Structure 1
Amino acid sequence: MIRPVNDSALALTRFWFWHLLYWLGYLLLKYTHLSLLIPLQQEAAFPYLATYTLITVINLSLTGWLGTRELARPCTPAQQLQRLAVWLMPLLLLLIPLRQYLLTHYAMKSGPDMMTHWSHYLVVGIPLVLLPLCGWVAVFLLMKLNFFTLQQLENRQQLLKQARQARLKVLRYQLNPHFMFNTLNALNSLIVSRKGLAAEDLIQQLSAFLRHSLKNQDDQWVPLREELQALEAYLAIQQVRFGERLVLDWQLSATKPMQLPPLLFQPMAEQAILWTVAEQSGPIHLHIELTEPCEPGEQAGMLQFIIRSDAAGTETQLWPASQVPASLQQLQERLELLFGSRASLTLLNPAFGFYARLNLPLEVLYAAHPARDRGR
């Protein structure tokens, strides 16, 4: 996977921040130590400070170049440690005699004893040069481990996001083939009966519904008005099929601008038709309600969409989960992927009249206006 350039630049910026902080902190600690210790020996502190400043600048520059080079290189901690040792060993061999030379010739009061014990001071100086480099190696390995841990976490989140988007597309594009079959049969009946105007109206409604179904290829949310127009087109097609047996009662009190995922209402309307007018004789009244409850309570702050038949009550038992139709199960899965636990779909047993209620969080719907990619 190709990662954004901004992520690498951010990791490099973090590295240089901690890199500079480490070496400047080391230099500050050394300054404090020398400024307190050297005057007690009745020697000038400046040569010592200048020596350690030069050594720190060399360390800062070479380890900075090395860290920039090695930060994004994928390798195990053991391999990385080996690579750092290959580069830092020559630096260590350079800095030890350089430090001793500068201290001997410019800082310490040289004399016969000093030159005689030059090798002794050289050996004593090894840990003073080695320990800061070892500390930098530890800090660098921690930074690199953090960098790759965050990288793997972001990659995993990106894969989960892509899988969720792919699943949403699959669920959204599952158009019931029976709906197309029945619509085409109804269209054929109108043509045979020479009802040209009714057939033309049916084609226009079918075209409007399919256009809404197939648009927004990138999971863009749509205005509430467009979603309602698609629902009206779908139910108009069903009215052509069933004629006077299907009576619709629209109660739309929620008209504020907001955005929502496409085709949330259609599966509920499809099942309402299937469990009422398609299975029963006589006229069927379906009530379609869209409201924003303002009273304090469980449903406050939710957009509420209800579709119910006349016979439906609100106190009957819930629809058994094992018997819920596939299209409504897919709708529940979409809601969970899009809203988590903030949205809900309530289904009552259709044996007592069809009743389905969809609750969507208004805060999310308002935040999505104007239309933009949600990509949650």
Structure 2
Amino acid sequence: MKHIFEDRNRQFWLLHTLGWLGFAIVNYLNSLVLETRDAYVIVVVLDAYIGWLITIPLRYAYQRIWHWSPWKLASTVLLVTTLIAAIWTAVHNFNYWEIYKHGGRPQDWLKYVRDTPFAFYVMLSWSGLYFGIKYYQTLQQEKQKSLTATNKAHEAQLKMLRYQLNPHFLFNTLNAISTLVLINETDTANKMVTRLSDFLRYSLYKDPINKVALEQEIYAARLYLEIERVRFSERLSIVFDIEPGTEKALVPSLILQPLIENAIKYAVASQINGGEIAITAKKFGHDLLLEVADNGPGMSITNGLPKSNDSGVGLVNTKERLAALYDNDFALVLTHNQPRGLKVNIRIPLQLEQTEQEHA
């Protein structure tokens, strides 16, 4: 049935046939009330069949005049409807006199079109239904096109935001690998290249439109932080606090990445003794709470947002991605960490990844 209603041509034939079948049933029930003879059933069937036939050309005529001006369209519909109604009435009365009255024809030939007003309203109703359904279909089609265009725009925006990888990260990593090679730390350099390769593969092959399990995001975060740890050594301390049961929660791919980059830049690289980055995930009712905290110098905050643009594009991109994916059902808030530093909190709806077993 879904396939039938998705095909507008099949939809027309189905509704067209059901409409005239309904007309025949109503006329038949009316004939029972009037206690007419059985022969009248033949007239009713022929009426519906002729009506079914002569309204088919109306469809193709209306398709040709669909884009005409309203007044011209309305005038043409009334004219064509009157003509078709007169033809249908004449055929009905001919059948009535020949079949029901057994050839007892009237003397006045105008009696063959005496019921034209009734037929006119029937044909006008058919025309009204046709234009109403066609207008509704056109409106739905335009809505679908609009939604598709909006989704494509969101997809392009998300991809642009997601692929804005920090060029400084790549530069610093390659520079660190080069340094390791020069001092003959080939094993460490090899591990760093492998981790960089895995991280880039993850970042490039994960579609930003599709959400991924949190455990995959944590995997990517660990790869990134392990690369950075080679650069900062003991100056970088990492803490993960992932509440059991949140591993299968769906999150936007690389949503933590810009937040960790900011923490590295402002809380670790800027301090002689380095710093600590803590990544937390936990459930809160029907929501998932993610947090990236550091013990750096922090920044000025007003109403949960940075007071200035010194946080870079990371937070802006993250907020825009969340808005595109969750509309208004999310929150991104900055707070002061204790005793010092900055915390970035993200709240999104808790959606759990379904396993193959659950699908089955």
User: If the length of structure 2 is used for normalisation, what is the TM-score?
Assistant: 0.82
Query: CA deviation digits over 1:64-94, x for unaligned, max 9?
Result: 5754x57877932657768867976775454
Distance 2:314 2:65 in 1: 46
1:56 alignment partner in structure 2: 48
Change (3 A) 1:12 1:287: same
Q: Which range moved further: 28-37 or 283-292?
A: 28-37
Superposed displacement of residue 108, structure 1: 4.2
2:19 alignment partner in structure 1: 22
1:296 alignment partner in structure 2: none
Distance 2:16 2:118 in 1: 19
Aligned residue pairs, count: 347
- Residue of structure 2 aligned with 1:333, choices 320, 325, 335: 320
State the SS of the aligned residue for 1:331.
Answer: helix
Query: CA deviation digits over 1:97-124, x for unaligned, max 9?
Result: 323333334434877xx743x2341342
Q: How does 1:228-239 map to 2 (within 5 A)?
A: 228-239=218-229
Query: CA deviation digits over 1:181-238, x for unaligned, max 9?
Result: 1112222222222222222222122112111111134744333332212111111121
Within the alignment, does 1:189 sit opposite 2:176 as a pair? Answer: no
- Residue of structure 1 aligned with 2:282, choices 281, 288, 291: 291
Contact in 2 for aligned 1:257/1:369 (Cα 8 Å): no
Q: Which range moved further: 132-141 or 187-196?
A: 187-196
2:212 alignment partner in structure 1: 222
Distance 2:235 2:316 in 1: 28
State the SS of the aligned residue for 1:222.
Answer: strand
- Residue of structure 1 aligned with 2:100, choices 95, 107, 111: 107
2:286 alignment partner in structure 1: 301
| Letter of the 1:344 counterpart | A
| Letter of the 1:96 counterpart | T
1:373 alignment partner in structure 2: none
Query: CA deviation digits over 1:287-313, x for unaligned, max 9?
Result: 222333xxxxxx323333222124689
Identity of aligned residues (%): 25
Structure 1 stretches lacking a partner, 5+ long: 293-298, 371-376
Q: How does 1:1-376 map to 2 (within 5 A)?
A: 6=3, 9-37=6-34, 44-64=36-56, 67=59, 75-76=66-67, 78=70, 91-92=84-85, 94-108=87-101, 115-116=106-107, 118-217=108-207, 219-254=209-244, 256-292=247-283, 299-310=284-295, 318-320=304-306, 322-323=308-309, 324-348=311-335, 352-362=340-350, 364=351, 366-367=352-353
Change (3 A) 1:107 1:231: same
State the SS of the aligned residue for 1:163.
Answer: helix
Contact in 2 for aligned 1:258/1:369 (Cα 8 Å): no
Output the aligned Cα RMSD. 3.4
Q: Which range moved further: 76-85 or 320-329?
A: 76-85
Distance 2:3 2:340 in 1: 58
Change (3 A) 1:340 1:9: closer
Contact in 1 for aligned 2:305/2:334 (Cα 8 Å): yes
Q: Quick one: higher RCO (CA 8 Å, sep 6+), 1 or 2? A: 1
Superposed displacement of residue 264, structure 1: 0.9
Distance 1:284 1:271 in 2: 12
| Letter of the 1:291 counterpart | K
| Letter of the 1:51 counterpart | V
| Letter of the 2:91 counterpart | L
Structure 2 stretches lacking a partner, 5+ long: none
Query: CA deviation digits over 1:247-281, x for unaligned, max 9?
Result: 22232334643443211111111001111112222
Distance 2:258 2:61 in 1: 55
